[in-house]
Structure 1
Amino acid sequence: MADDPCSTRDVGDVLIGEDAARLLIEASSSGDDTALQSLLLQPQWAKIMLESQHSIYKESRPRQGPNDARKVSAYQMQNIERAFRVAVQNHHPAILSTLMAFSTNQGVDATEFVPKTTMYKIIDNEHAWVFRALASADPNIVNFHIAHGTLALYEAVRRRQTDLVVVLLEFGADPLHPVQHPEDLATYNSSLMSRAAMAQGPRMIEMLLQHGTPIAHTAALHTAARFGELDTMRLLLQHGADLNEVIVGWSNWTPMHFAASRGEVGAMKLLEESGARTDVKDDDGKTPVQLLKEYVPRET
């Protein structure tokens, strides 16, 4: 079969032939939870739900009509994954709960049928309702590994999806989970707290602090200073953030240096008023004031 065959069928459909799981997929797509549960109580349908079919997961462009063939991509996809995808697409939390309960009863780990690409889309679109439905059936889903050793919580914080972070923490997501960063992520702002400090306002930092996330050695204050998030800075300082902490491997900059590098005079003033030193020199022998003089505003 060609890598990119042409088809008139939709994303989620089987590529060729009859769809053995058609009734299961239709119930999941329409949100008919009663019909889905009734089907899954029947051994033959329960068996089909766990089987795989060569199904379309991507199209080169949207289909323009029932006979419009365009290039598609397909792979052997479990029918439960297909059902999960259409339930998310059509906003049916009850279907997701039923699928999770079914997988648990069948001894199937949710990570086997919840694709990482779909999880990324869920996080990008801040579909907190999806995680609430999944976690209500299986709290372990909040510790789903996305990529690079990160969990859904880290990705939600990184994308500044506050409402989703609320749900994840509510269901036991671990803010202390270590992250195995690839080299391109291992920068001063790659920690969970530093990512949270990039969000507008202090709410995300406040939630992480309430769940015992430490501040030291996270560069959270450095990041907040760099982005001029004064309220977040005040919150971090109230919880003992080190005013003069240096980032080893990042020119030994203090929070004051980070603020100066972006021309955040307000952040520099707040740090100084809070007791930060202004005479600390970085690896190049520059104080924050000297960096500020070199600051060139970015073009808008």
Structure 2
Amino acid sequence: MTTESSIRRLIDLSAAGETALTEELLRNEPDLARGGWGYFSPLHFAVREGHRETVELLLRYGADAAEKPILSWQDSLLQKARDRGYVDIEALLRTHLERTLQVKPIGDTTAELVRAGKGAELLAWLDEHPEAVQAGDERGNTPLHWAVMTRRMELIDLLLAKGADPLAKRSDGCQPVHLALDGDYFYRPGRDLPAEAMRDNRFLLGYLIGKGVPYDIFIAAAAGDAAKMRELLALEPQLANARDTAGRSALYYAAKQGYAEAVRVLLDAGGEPNLAERDASGGAALYAAVRGGHAECVKLLLAHGADPNAEIEASGNAVYAAMQEGAQELLELLYAHGGTVTMAGACALGRVDLVGELLAVNPAAANDGDYGPLAQAASCGYTSIVKLLLRHGAELNGPWYASNYLVYAFRYADNEMVELLLRHGSDPNVSNWLGISYLHLAAKEGDIGLAELLLNYGADLNAVDEEYGTTPLGWAAKYGQAEMAEYLLRKGAAIEPADVPEWARPLAWAGRRGHHAVAELLRSRAKGAV
């Protein structure tokens, strides 16, 4: 059984509450408990369907109860249990999170004080609640994690003086130092950092070392300290292929910074550039070196067998990276070592010439992958490529998981791309693997023009999804989209759809989420209908 088929089977068993069969599978492949497919874990489905014993089993095998929602419409596990009234499962998750990551309500308050940079208030808060210095938010971030993410050195000092643990791990294994090394996917310097925050994370990394964070091979690699790396490898040769608690290799850190001698030290010690690491089943060092434009590191890695076609999660391969960066020298090196551009990569780059040539050789390539060519072209607004793919038989109504080509086309306010695809045969009622339709997503965004377009092409006004058990009107209520709710009601949306459980009806969603205007609208329309 392949890894993908194993994880899909575990998801199915977890959703069905087949605890005995779930345990049998996990005994053979325990790492599956932390796996997922389409941005959803087996634990998610066990919680969603209310199978307490299965939830308990998955937690025992290491499932992540603090998994961070990736998708805009994805709820946390705690929220999911709360919405459905699974009091025992919510309590089980809370107890587990507090025991393993010290996640407590007090952690969210402390995190907010750190993010806001309120040093005086934070000090007073910690004096009143000394235990808060170790408490995690719902993802397991301690106050020190947030002080590093927001790059506030004065708060780092304050927290360390109050007893913060510099080695505390959050749910994904990241310690504060890893956030100085590699940043955070959900909190990004260019988007989230306050204007007055430090911009250079390298200084912060050195500062943490000065504060007592152990100087291990991963940090030495990121600093380009080849002498220290040799010393550590002499004592522990296996470090050449070790992964830190965040799932990254020393080779990745060295290559990302462009330290060729550090890369050479690791390769000479037996470092394998294609071993799996976080978000990279075929290794991440070569991709990182290409992104950084570090030619010498690229040459070293390729000479030691690095795979130029290894994919990085949602980021393409090294050839795609070189093309996007305009790095011609690196591109030639990669091609010389067997690298190729994928059809999806060519579409994302807007290279209609490459797309045309690839389709001429292999017309079936129009349908490569779940987030394949059409999704990339539609996402980037490349209409000419979309039309070319359609002429070569791009599949419009196949199964999809989190998002697909039409969902990506939603981002364009004029809806021209969406209408083009609908005219060519996109079925407005094809839902994703969780039963979520295009109209559900339009309702979440409050995009009335898009909803009208979908309805004009035959979208089901009262379709019920499996994830939240409700209709597009329910989604409008859940996300507080009052104008959308009113529009859907005018179109005839059911206020109390018969095939929707009580907890998932539109009024229930509006009430739980505190969207009073939507709730009042629904109540008034319900009275008027009587």
TM-score (norm 2): 0.33
Give the AA of the match of 2:297.
Answer: D
Q: 1:33-61: CA deviations, max 9, x gaps? A: xxxxxxxxxxxxxxxxxxxxxxx997144
Q: Indicate how the Cα distance of structure 1 residues 230 and 147 shifts in structure 2: closer, same or farther if over 3 A, else same.
A: closer
Q: Indicate how the Cα distance of structure 1 residues 64 and 80 shifts in structure 2: closer, same or farther if over 3 A, else same.
A: closer
Partner of 1:209: 455
Report if aligned partners of 1:259, 1:265 keep a CA contact under 8 Å in 2. Answer: yes
Compare the two structures and name the one with the higher helix fraction: 2
Report if aligned partners of 1:135, 1:171 keep a CA contact under 8 Å in 2. Answer: no
SS in 2 for 1:142: coil
Query: What is the correspondence of 1:173-252 to structure 2 with a 5 Å cutoff?
Result: 173-177=426-430, 179-181=432-434, 190-218=436-464, 219-245=471-497, 248-249=500-501, 251=503
User: Aligned-residue CA RMSD in angstroms?
Assistant: 4.4
Compare the two structures and name the one with the higher strand fraction: 1
Partner of 1:276: 526
- The CA distance in 1 between the partners of 2:286 and 2:450, in whole Å, is 34
Q: Indicate how the Cα distance of structure 1 residues 89 and 127 shifts in structure 2: closer, same or farther if over 3 A, else same.
A: closer
Partner of 1:259: 510
Q: Structure 1 residue 212: deviation in Å? A: 0.4
Give the AA of the match of 2:506.
Answer: P
Pair 1:110 & 2:366 matched? yes
SS in 2 for 1:194: helix
Give the AA of the match of 1:196.
Answer: A
Give the AA of the match of 1:240.
Answer: G
Residue 65 (structure 1) aligned to one of 294, 300, 325 = 294
Q: Structure 1 residue 204: deviation in Å? A: 2.2
Partner of 1:126: 379
Q: Indicate how the Cα distance of structure 1 residues 57 and 206 shifts in structure 2: closer, same or farther if over 3 A, else same.
A: farther
Q: Structure 1 residue 226: deviation in Å? A: 1.9
Give the AA of the match of 1:254.
Answer: R
Give the AA of the match of 1:93.
Answer: V
Give the AA of the match of 1:263.
Answer: G
Structure 2: unaligned runs, 5 residues or longer? 1-240, 242-248, 256-283, 311-316, 318-337, 465-470
Report if aligned partners of 1:244, 1:254 keep a CA contact under 8 Å in 2. Answer: yes
Structure 1: unaligned runs, 5 residues or longer? 9-55, 279-300
- The CA distance in 2 between the partners of 1:147 and 1:254, in whole Å, is 24
Partner of 1:292: none
Q: Indicate how the Cα distance of structure 1 residues 217 and 117 shifts in structure 2: closer, same or farther if over 3 A, else same.
A: closer
Q: Structure 1 residue 101: deviation in Å? A: 4.5
Partner of 2:418: 165
Aligned residues: 215
Q: Structure 1 residue 220: deviation in Å? A: 0.6
Pair 1:100 & 2:346 matched? no
Q: 1:96-127: CA deviations, max 9, x gaps? A: 245335534xxx4533xx3445559727x822
TM-score (norm 1): 0.54
